[in-house]
């Protein structure tokens, strides 16, 4: 029997080989879905970490700096700390809160507890303490009005931050500048709420030379603004129990 030629053997070999496996047309979709799931998990972990850090920073109780007076002044709810300079019952000016959203902060019908911290603000003008007015952030109206997430209840200087969000809509912390924007008063190095003169700012007893608008409102943060002369060393305050 004649043997097949070499060319015939090659043809037979090619014809008998198994065809290559078909590529699954869904494979790129499976890979894309897998990548998307991993990306979502990573984004979720990063967001949770950021949110946790933001809450920890907001609730961290600061230690008074070396310039603060050693003996703390006890704060009480309902007190009036300083001279009553601002006479209006509802102190927000026409440039301030009238119910509209300000700096990403809404005016609502209730107080919130998602983020609930208290900061203290003390203002000194030509050596005398000026009471931070009560009801900053209250916008009255015929229908009962509304309440901004940042507000005051009395003249103690305690600033209440009671927000439904960990941070404002634009991101970052809640700040002293937001309080003054709601109040509708200037916060400048020569003018604080109409009190004109050189301004020295202290945060937790230490001098603060940065942008006063950016001072964060953290738990038990102590902010002192000294306007004019003579200079006043920043007091150290003790918040009410369970505050």
9 versus 88: the higher-pLDDT residue is 88
Within 8 A by CB and 6+ apart from 225, the residues are 121, 122, 123, 124, 192, 199, 200, 201, 202, 212
* Average pLDDT over the chain, rounded to an integer: 85
Question: What value does the mean pLDDT take over residues 120-128?
Answer: 98
Q: Which pLDDT score is estimated for 56?
A: 46
Distance, in Å, from the CA atom of 28 to the CA atom of 25, rounded to the nearest integer, reads 7
33 pLDDT band, cuts 50/70/90, is confident
Structural domain spans, the chain: 60-238
Proportion of the chain above pLDDT 70, given as a percent: 77
Q: Which pLDDT score is estimated for 65?
A: 61
Q: Which pLDDT score is estimated for 26?
A: 76
Q: Which pLDDT score is estimated for 216?
A: 97
How far the first Cα of the chain sits from its last, in Å, is: 106
* pLDDT at position 217 over 70: yes
Question: What value does the mean pLDDT take over residues 180-189?
Answer: 98
* pLDDT at position 37 over 70: yes
């Amino acid at each position: 029997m004649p043997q097949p030629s070499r060319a015939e053997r090659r043809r037979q070999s090619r014809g008998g080989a198994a065809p290559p496996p078909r590529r699954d047309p869904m494979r790129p979709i499976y890979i894309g879905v897998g990548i998307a799931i991993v990306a979502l998990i990573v984004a979720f972990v990063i967001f949770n970490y950021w949110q946790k850090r933001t809450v920890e920073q907001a609730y961290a109780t600061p230690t008074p700096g070396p310039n603060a007076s050693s003996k703390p002044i006890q704060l009480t709810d309902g007190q009036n700390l300083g001279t009553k300079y601002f006479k209006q019952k509802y102190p927000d000016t026409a440039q301030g809160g009238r119910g509209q959203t300000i700096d990403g902060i809404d005016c609502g019908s209730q107080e919130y507890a998602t983020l609930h911290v208290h900061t203290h603000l003390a203002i000194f003008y030509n050596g005398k303490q000026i009471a931070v007015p009560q009801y900053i952030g209250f916008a009255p109206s015929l229908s009962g009005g509304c309440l901004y997430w940042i507000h005051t209840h009395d003249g103690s200087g305690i600033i209440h931050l009671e927000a439904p969000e960990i941070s404002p809509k634009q991101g970052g912390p809640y700040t002293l500048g937001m309080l003054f924007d709601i109040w509708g008063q200037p916060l400048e190095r020569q003018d604080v709420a109409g009190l004109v003169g050189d301004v020295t700012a202290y945060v937790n007893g230490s001098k603060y030379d940065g942008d006063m608008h950016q001072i964060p409102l953290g738990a038990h943060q102590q902010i002192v603004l000294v306007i004019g002369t003579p200079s006043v060393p920043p007091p150290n305050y003790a918040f009410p129990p369970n505050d």
